[in-house]
Structure 1
Amino acid sequence: MNTPPPITVVNVGYRSTNYWVVSAGTSRLLVDIGWPGTLGTLKAHLARVGIPLCEIRYALATHYHIDHAGLAEELKREGVQLLVLEVQLEAIPIMKTWTKPGDHYLDITEHGNIIISFEQSRLLLGQMGIAGEILHTPGHTDHCVSLVLDNGFAFTGDLPAEAYAFDNPVALASWQRLRAKGATSIYPAHGPVWPIGEAPSTPSS
């Protein structure tokens, strides 16, 4: 019986935003996608850690703000499929309203998008060799999602840290959902990794 490859996580982020490559061997998922117009920068960061862009099968935006999803269409043109949760669909065209001509943003088209429900996420990830699921975790925006692996790693985007969300009941409910799914180590979009239940060194955006 073949033993599945261990899950590895590498940060290829820049400009104060973390972009996490979650891998099972050479089957890879990029969590949060990059600023518009920065494909060359992302490629350079991938090359620095020895990850070929062609091995990234899917890209997942935790939410559709330009520092998290601005590079989506450029990556799709490189062969990376965009994984979109149904709850995120209406947010995609709105993101453009926050861009400027100098951002060199490319509109996200429907071609190359894989639209799934939260219930379908475990099966799709399992086909990649990644045990986990995607959860709806509003609190920063209504369409925020988090990736939670069965090993306890949780990729939460800009979900406000639990320690700073005392006046945000929506975010607190999202943290309860993450705990119920076994989250133990938080991989945020900004700042260092931290254990759930502790205050991070800096609040999440």
Structure 2
Amino acid sequence: MNTPPPITVVNVGYRSTHYWVVGAGTSRLLMDIGWPGTLGTLKANLARVGIPLHEIRYALATHYHIDHAGLAEELKREGVSLLVLEVQRPAIPLMKTWVKPADRYVEITEKGNVILSFEQSRDFLAQMGLSGEILPTPGHTDHCVSLLLDNGFAFTGDLPAEALAFDNPVALASWRLLRAKGATRVYPAHGPVWYLEDMPDAPTS
């Protein structure tokens, strides 16, 4: 019986934002996508850690803000398909309203996008060798999503940490969902990796 390859997580981020390459062997998913106009920086960071760009099959933005999805269309032109949850689709065309010409943003088109429902995410990830699911985790924006692997790794983007979300009931509800689904280790888009066991459960009211 073949043993599945171990899950690897590599940070290829820059400019204060983490971009996590989540892999099972040479089948890799990029969590959050990069600032516009910075494809060269991303390629350099990938090369530095020995990850060929062609091994990144898909990219998933936790939400459509410029530091998390600004490089999406440029990556699609390199052969990386964009995973989009249905809840995120209305947010994509709005992103261009936040950029300036100097940002060199390339507008995201529908071509090359893979549209998923949350219910479809587990089966889709399994095709990549990843055991887990994509969950709705609003709290920073209403279209935020998180990747939660069955080993407890949670990639949460800009979801406010529980300790900072005491006045954000939507974010606290997202953390309760992640805890209930088995999240243990949190990979945020900003700041260090941390463990849920180090934090008290989110308040219920």
Classify the TM-score, shorter chain. Answer: over 0.9
Match of 2:142 in 1: 142
Q: What is the correspondence of 1:107-146 to structure 2 with a 5 Å cutoff?
A: 107-146=107-146
Q: 1:10 to 1:53 in 2, by over 3 A?
A: same
Match of 2:45 in 1: 45
Output the CA distance in 1 between the equivalents of 2:141 and 2:95: 12
Give the letter aligned to residue 100 of structure 1: K
Give the letter aligned to residue 130 of structure 1: L
TM-score of the aligned structures, taking structure 1 as reference length: 0.96
CA contact (8 A) 1:163 1:198 kept: no
Match of 2:67 in 1: 67
Output the CA distance in 1 between the equivalents of 2:115 and 2:192: 30
Secondary structure, aligned partner of 2:198: coil
Match of 1:157 in 2: 157
1:141-183 superposed Cα distances (whole Å, 9 cap, x missing partner): 0000000000000000000001110100000000000001100
Output the CA distance in 2 between the equivalents of 1:196 and 1:66: 28
RMSD value, Cα: 0.6
Identity between Structure 1 and Structure 2 (%): 83
Q: Give 4+ residue runs of structure 1 displaced > 2 Å after superposition.
A: none
* Structure 1 gap ranges (5+): 200-205
Q: What is the correspondence of 1:8-87 to structure 2 with a 5 Å cutoff?
A: 8-87=8-87
Output the CA distance in 1 between the equivalents of 2:30 and 2:180: 24
Cα offset, 1:197, TM superposition: 4.4
* Structure 2 gap ranges (5+): 200-205
Output the CA distance in 1 between the equivalents of 2:39 and 2:2: 36
Secondary structure, aligned partner of 1:89: helix
Give the letter aligned to residue 33 of structure 2: I
Give the letter aligned to residue 198 of structure 1: D
Give the letter aligned to residue 150 of structure 2: D
TM-score of the aligned structures, taking structure 2 as reference length: 0.96
Match of 1:202 in 2: none
Cα offset, 1:198, TM superposition: 3.3
